[in-house]
Amino acid sequence: MTKFSALAHTYGTPLYLYDFDSITHKFSALKDVFKARKSLICFAVKSNSNLSVLKHMAHLGAGCDCVSIGEVKRALLAGIPKYKIIFSGVGKRDDEIEEALRNDILMLNLESEEEMKRVEIIAQKLGVVARISIRVNPNIDPKTHPYISTGLHENKFGVDIESAKRMYIHAKNSASLDPVGIHFHIGSQITDVNPFKEAADVLANLVRNLKALKIDIKFFDVGGGIGIQYKEEETIALYDYAQSIFAALGGLDVTLVCEPGRYLVGDCGYFLTKVLYEKYNGFKRFVIVDGAMNDLIRPSLYQAYHAIEVEGKEGTEKSLCDVVGPVCESGDFLAKNIELPALEHDDILVVKSAGAYGFTMSSNYNTRMRVAEVALENGEDRLIRRRETFEDVIALEKEYL
Ligand SMILES: *Cc1c(COP(=O)(O)O)cnc(C)c1O
């Protein structure tokens, strides 16, 4: 049996696999291009929040970028030091702000003046000083999918430069706020270095202006968004990426913070699914598999492309097909119009680049159990999340029958 088929046999399908050695490799490559400066790589937890993945990140020296208190708690539980945890997001509840402050994390990324006021009131109540960073929206088009573009004024994220300035001045004069950082995150799956360069230039100038007002920014956070190769897209050369940020920073003495999600885990993950049947409707070929949109929603949600491979069928003739799941939606597909060899019941399809926004976006739609997750490390495999059972899925409802 081939490698993926053997794993599918051991753990069942559908299944997520993460290659921890590749994650290590990607982390080191990024850390390496930043080595001329102090840097902190904070993994975007929303892309893959499995505790064992986070523990691996902790082991590598990464911090975490979190967008809910649940993610902050995951990061702490997995051993990420509190001084490497950032809490971002446009809509933090009071109780989330309070818990983040009690946990004394590195900083809260603020996205509005209203939010800053809430943080100030809560910090005052707790008798602590809240370290904050402000997410500035540089109004730059990253030329990616509109759903994953976040750096334009028409998006809900961040504040414009003038508001940011007002916020920094307010924070500096507040006894309960300490403005330590500045942040941008312009979108996801970005494959061109220029939007990063433009955003870094705009924010570095703001840092210089703030310096003149005696507001000393210590953390320069360039967000996430580094794209990976799903199909044939060119990706960013990490060296150019780092150099363009360094060029923007010039002589500023700041710690560079980067929050990659997809870059660190995206192409280190595989989604394994088993062929149930082949079906022909008129002239159209469908490959029906046991994985579905509830397990991997990116194709349905973003029309994202994921390459699909079959082991052990090399050299067989291929033909066009759609790979679809059992969910009752026409939008339930993993691939459209791709070439695959003739397939049989129980053949294993390997859906590639599925390590980011795969499992974390999965759901129980159609009362399908969320799948198992497995780590590959040093030539060995181990379960890091067991497959859900029917009992797990109904547990929170059963008592009300
Ligand atoms: C989603 C997100 C990231 C990670 O984005 P990737 O495209 O996965 O690198 C980083 N920072 C913030 C604030 C985010 O919302």
pLDDT (0 to 100) of residue 329: 87
Identify whether the C-beta of residue 351 lies closer than 8 Å to the C-beta of residue 340.
no
What is the distance in A from the centroid of ligand 1 to the CA of 43?
9
pLDDT (0 to 100) of residue 283: 86
Q: What is the pLDDT of residues 321-380, one digit of tens each?
A: 999 999 988 899 999 999 999 999 999 999 999 999 999 999 999 999 999 999 999 999
Distance CA 388, CA 166 (A): 49
Residue 382 annotated in ligand binding: no
Query: Dihedral of CA 136/138/139/142: which sign?
Result: negative
Which residues line the pocket of ligand 1, CB cutoff 6 A? Answer: 44, 46-47, 65, 67, 88, 185, 188, 223-226, 259-263, 356
Residue 83, pLDDT > 80, answer yes
Q: Find, among 308, 314, 297, 292, the residue nearest to 367 by Cα.
A: 292
Architecture in CATH of 3-15+267-387:
Beta Barrel (2.40)
Residue 298 annotated in ligand binding: yes
For residue 165, CA distances in Å to 46, 113, 281 come to 29, 11, 60
Looking at residue 361, the DSSP 8-state letter turns out to be G
Predicted structure pTM score:
0.95
Q: What is the pLDDT of residues 135-173, one digit of tens each?
A: 999 887 666 555 556 656 667 688 999 999 999 999 999
pLDDT (0 to 100) of residue 340: 97
Atom in ligand 1 nearest the alpha carbon of residue 357:
8
Ligand 1 pocket mutation pick from 45, 49, 65, 191 by most atoms within 8 angstroms of CB: 65
Amino acid in the structure at residue 266: G
| Average pLDDT for 215-224 | 97
Distance CA 388, CA 98 (A): 32
Other beta carbons within 10 angstroms of residue 153's beta carbon come to 10
Cβ neighbors of 380 (< 8 A, separation 6 or more) are none
CATH code for the domain defined by 88-260: 3.20.20.10
String of DSSP letters for 220-240: EE----B---SSS-----HHH
258 has catalytic annotation? no
pLDDT (0 to 100) of residue 71: 98
Identify whether the C-beta of residue 195 lies closer than 8 Å to the C-beta of residue 142.
yes
Q: Where in the chain is the domain with CATH 3.20.20.10?
A: 88-260
Residue 297, pLDDT > 60, answer yes
Q: What is the pLDDT of residues 246-286, one digit of tens each?
A: 999 999 999 999 999 999 999 999 999 999 999 998 889 99
> What are the start-end ranges of the E strands in 97-206?
107-110, 130-135, 177-183
User: How much of the chain exceeds pLDDT 70, in percent?
Assistant: 96
What is the distance in A from the centroid of ligand 1 to the CA of 56?
19
Q: Where in the chain is the domain with CATH 2.40.37.10?
A: 3-15+267-387
Distance CA 167, CA 179 (A): 9
Enter the tokens of residue 229.
């190769």
| Average pLDDT for 10-29 | 98
Distance CA 111, CA 254 (A): 21
Q: Find, among 67, 102, 62, 57, the residue nearest to 84 by Cα.
A: 62
String of DSSP letters for 51-65: HHHHHHHHHHT-EEE
Ligand 1, atom 10: nearest CA belongs to which residue? 224
Of the two residues 234 and 290, the one the predictor is more confident about is 290
Q: Find, among 215, 218, 161, 214, the residue nearest to 184 by Cα.
A: 161
Residue 93 annotated in ligand binding: no
pLDDT (0 to 100) of residue 150: 63
- Confidence label for 232 from pLDDT (cuts 50, 70 and 90): confident
